[in-house]
Each structure stands twice: as C-alpha cells, then as structure tokens.
C-alpha cells in the first residue's frame, strides 16, 4: 500500500490481514476462500506442483489436519474430505471407474448409495451388479466381469446388521485386481479398520459417528496407499497412463498413493463437493472423542437389544452383538470393541405398533440420522425404504413393524425405561397380531 493513509473502507478491508503463524493447540479454523502467495514464483510453483495452499477447494490447512487425523484413525496412508457421505461415496467410485466400467456392490447398502449406482452412475455408463449373499465369496467372484473396476460394501449394513467378512471379500477383489471400497460409517474405526483386513479404500459419512454431535454434514475417503501399478494398472488406465500436457502419470508421481492423489487432484475438486473448513473443524473435534462415544453407545445398544429381545411385543432383533444373529461369529471376529449402536427390531404388532412406538417414545428423537450422541428412531418401511417393493423390503429385513434405532450415550436405564413405557401403551391400545 502507498505511504498515504488509506481511506476508511479500504482500511476496514486490509487492517486485519494476518501473516504470522502461532502454535494453536486446537486446530485453527482457516475459514478462507484462498491463501495469499508469497511472491510471483510461489504462485507458479503452487499451480505447477500442487504444493502448499492456494484455494480452499483444492486444499485448506484445517481440512488437511482433519484428513490426517481420520487417515490415522483408519490406519490409512492418506485421506480426502468432502462435503457429505454421499460425496465420499461418489468421489470414491468416480476415482476408480468411468464410462464402460462395472462395479460389484453388496445389495445391503445405504439407499442413497444404491440410488447413486442405479440412477446416476448408470447414466454415466457405469454399471453395477448387486450381490445379495455377501457372506459367500463365490457370489462376489461370480459377479466379476472383464470391465469390473471395484467392489463396494458396508462393514456393518443397515437394516439386517450384516457384518462383512472383509478379508474374504478383499481376497476376491484382489484376485480380480480391483480395490474393495468399504463404507465404514456404522462400524467406525473404533470397532473395525477395514484397511487392516485388506480393503483398499474406506469411506464414511462423517455426519454420523465421526462428528457425533449431529450438527454438520461431511464425508471422507481414506486410502490404504497400496495401489500396485504393475499388478492392477490395467484396471486403472487413468492412473498409469501419462497425464494431459505430457505430465508423468499419477502412479509415476504418487506410487502407492495414486488413487487418493487422483481423488484429491482431480475428482474431488472438479466435481466440487468441497467441505467447509468450519465443518471439517467440527468433525475433527467430534472424532477426538469417537472411541469413548462408540464404546458407550455399543454397551448401551447391547443392553437395549438384549432387553428388547426378551419382550413379548418384539418379534425379532437384528443386532450382530446378539448370539442369535446369523453374523454374530463374523462380528465377534472383526468388531473388537463392541458391536455398534445402530440396529433394527421388529414389533409383532406391525405398522400400527410401529406408529405407536415412534409417537410414544420420549427420549428417542424421531429423525433420519444415525450416530448421534442422542438416541434416535426411524421407521424404514415408510421412509428410507419406501421406494422398495414389499418383497425387496422383506428380503432386506424391513417389515411393517421394523424400527431402526441409533443408540446414544444416555444412561441405559433411562433408555430402557422409555422403551418399557411405550411397549406398555402398545399392549393396551393395539392387541398383538401377526405381521402380514
């Protein structure tokens, strides 16, 4: 600026410009669209190499700090944050596939992911095959085609609480020279870290347990850093062929981190679902207490599931922590610190009982969300799974009397007390009848 004192409006804009760094203990929130370059060459270097920070859509120190934190928690090499869990799934799938490619997916996945595959990626020329019996490695193997580019599954799936045999499915994916992408939202890295069992990429809706407070949306992809160009490069030409303008390939520049580098440099910033640094900060704050919360939530959920299973009004409880669950042995093998907080149970009284339950609970919040510190309830058949046919819902474990719970960190005695009072009112008002 000139030696002349600037005018009032100009001073208002420039007086607070910060250049010094300080060692804040909490992650500073860099709520800024972009970053000042030191000089002419610095700008050119940033554009040439991608090093440092230029514009928040391509990188931000707050977001970067939380990416490192989440990569660490998932035992990954590196992570990319995006604006939502849906963005994490779409970014991961667009990182490994394009028009003419094929994805093998578990049939037991989040409805938003299923819609993405069926409606949106299909229109971009990316086909999907859904595997129903996800516990059978041969079912995965049989779905592989020459143009298959990835496997996709959830570590713990809603609504039946299926638990993925990550190592077994990873081996099949590995034989096909494609990455296994695992949505680890329901399990969280406190219970299982899929990359330690052979998965290549983990995705999360950070809106759920990672944040835990239910105040922001966010998503993250974490990569194992084990991309092997020599062995699997034929299934990832975009990573091993030279880039535009004669640039060396992504694999030549980033080696084992080629996939996550491509997600960071190309897919996430171009499709543009960038996270707000403020939201990233709030997710990082939440993730600091992830273990304590999920430990408590898992303990509470197990007690609530056991209690429900003993009630006459309850037909079934689909919680992998119960020995009666078909995947209990798999769950006991993979889930080291508890069985998670989200599960479904089915009331004998069908739709009427489900309505009475949702409207009668006092502590459980009725909403479409999971992983909150507060306990939540939703009726899947009329909400998340409303677009499915009756037969499909039944196969997925969603019946008229099925309710989904996400157990919070309240005193479990209070939660059970609330459930007891509502089941009592159901007994009085709606005599038990068989579910159609």
Ligand X SMILES: *Cc1c(COP(=O)(O)O)cnc(C)c1O
Q: By the criterion CB under 6 A, which residues form the site for ligand X?
A: 84-86, 89, 110, 112-113, 154, 183, 185-186, 205, 207-208, 217, 219, 370
The distance of closest approach from Cβ of residue 14 to ligand X in the complex, given in angstroms and rounded to an integer, is: 38
Of the two residues 84 and 297, which places its CB atom closer to ligand X in the complex?
84
Nearer to ligand X, 86 or 170 (CB): 86
CB of 39 to ligand X, least distance (A): 40
- Nearer to ligand X among residue 53 and residue 281 (C-beta): 281
Residue reference for tokens 């609530």:
304
Identify which of residues 217 and 407 has a Cβ nearer to ligand X in the complex.
Answer: 217
55 DSSP assignment: B
Q: Contact at 8 Å (CB) between 78 and 260?
A: yes
Task: Quote the least distance from Cβ 217 to ligand X, whole Å.
Answer: 5
Those residues whose C-beta lies under 8 Å from the C-beta of residue 217, and which sit 6 or more positions away, are: 83, 84, 85, 205, 206, 207, 279
How far is residue 331's CA from residue 156's CA, in Å, rounded to a whole number? Answer: 9
Name the H helices within 310-399. 328-334, 350-360, 390-395
- Among 210, 187, 171, which Cα is nearest to 79's? 210
Judge contact between 108 and 84, C-beta under 8 A. Answer: no
Give the nearest distance from C-beta 141 to ligand X in angstroms. 25
Contact indicator for 105, 117 with CB cutoff of 8 Å? yes
Furthest-apart CA atoms within the chain: distance in Å: 86
Distance of closest approach, residue 220 Cβ to ligand X, in angstroms: 10
Q: Compute the least distance from the CB of residue 102 to ligand X, in Å.
A: 21
| Closest CB 301 distance from ligand X, rounded Å | 16
Nearest residue to the partner ligand X, using Cβ: 85
* CA distance to 17, 18, 19, 148, per residue, from 5 (Å): 16, 19, 21, 65
Contact of 373 with 333, CB cutoff 8 Å: no
CA 305 to chain centre: 24
| H-assigned helices in 217-349 | 229-232, 237-240, 250-254, 258-262, 268-271, 277-287, 290-309, 328-334
Q: Which is nearer to ligand X, 86 or 97 (CB)?
A: 86
Minimal distance, residue 341 CB to ligand X, in Å = 12
- For ligand X, the closer of residues 187 and 426 by Cβ is 187
Cβ proximity to ligand X: between 217 and 396 the closer is: 217
Q: Tell me how far apart the alpha carbons of residues 126 and 253 are, in angstroms, rounded to a whole number.
A: 27
Q: Which of 254, 404 has the CB closer to ligand X?
A: 404
Which CB atom, from 70 or from 186, has the smaller least distance to ligand X?
A: 186
**Cα 418 vs. chain centroid, distance in angstroms?**
30
Q: How far apart are CA 360 and CA 201, in angstroms?
A: 41
């Amino acid at each position: 600026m000139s030696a002349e004192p600037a005018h009032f409006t100009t001073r208002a804009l420039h007086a607070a410009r910060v250049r010094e760094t300080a060692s804040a203990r909490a992650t500073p929130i860099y709520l800024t669209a972009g970053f000042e370059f030191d000089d002419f060459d610095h700008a050119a270097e940033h554009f040439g190499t991608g090093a440092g920070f230029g514009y928040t859509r391509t990188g931000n120190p707050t977001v970067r700090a939380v990416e490192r934190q989440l990569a660490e928690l998932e035992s990954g090499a590196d992570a990319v944050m995006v604006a939502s869990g849906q963005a994490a799934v779409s970014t991961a799938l667009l990182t490994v596939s394009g028009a003419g490619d094929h994805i093998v997916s578990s049939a037991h996945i989040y409805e938003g992911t299923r819609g993405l595959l069926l409606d949106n990626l299909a229109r971009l020329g990316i086909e999907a095959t859904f595997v129903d019996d996800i516990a059978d490695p041969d079912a995965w193997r049989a779905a592989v085609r020459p143009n298959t580019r990835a496997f996709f599954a959830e570590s713990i799936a809603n609504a039946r609480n299926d638990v993925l045999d990550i190592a077994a499915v990873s081996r099949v994916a590995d034989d096909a020279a494609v990455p296994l992408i695992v949505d680890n939202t329901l399990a969280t890295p406190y219970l299982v870290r899929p990359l330690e069992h052979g998965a290549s990429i983990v995705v999360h809706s950070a809106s759920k347990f990672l944040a835990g407070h239910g105040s922001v949306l966010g998503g993250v992809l974490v990569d194992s850093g084990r991309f092997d160009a020599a062995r699997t490069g034929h299934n990832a030409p975009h990573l091993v062929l030279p880039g535009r303008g004669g640039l060396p390939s992504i694999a030549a520049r980033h080696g084992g981190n080629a996939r996550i580098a491509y997600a960071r440099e190309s897919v996430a910033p171009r499709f543009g679902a960038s996270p707000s640094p403020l939201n990233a900060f709030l997710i990082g704050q939440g993730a600091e207490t992830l273990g304590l919360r999920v430990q408590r939530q898992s303990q509470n959920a197990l007690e609530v599931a056991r209690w429900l299973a003993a009630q006459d009004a309850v037909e079934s409880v689909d919680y992998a922590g119960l020995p009666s669950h078909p995947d209990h042995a798999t769950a006991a093998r993979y889930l080291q610190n508890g069985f998670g907080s989200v599960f479904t149970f089915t009331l004998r009284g069908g739709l009427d009982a489900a309505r009475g339950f949702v409207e009668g609970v006092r502590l459980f919040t009725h909403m479409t969300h999971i992983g909150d510190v507060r306990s939540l309830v939703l009726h899947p058949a009329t909400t998340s799974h409303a677009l499915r046919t009756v037969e499909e819902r039944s196969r997925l474990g969603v019946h008229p009397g099925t309710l989904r719970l996400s157990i919070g960190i309240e005193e479990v005695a209070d939660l059970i007390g609330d459930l007891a009072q509502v089941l009592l009112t159901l007994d009085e008002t709606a005599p038990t009848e068989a579910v159609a």
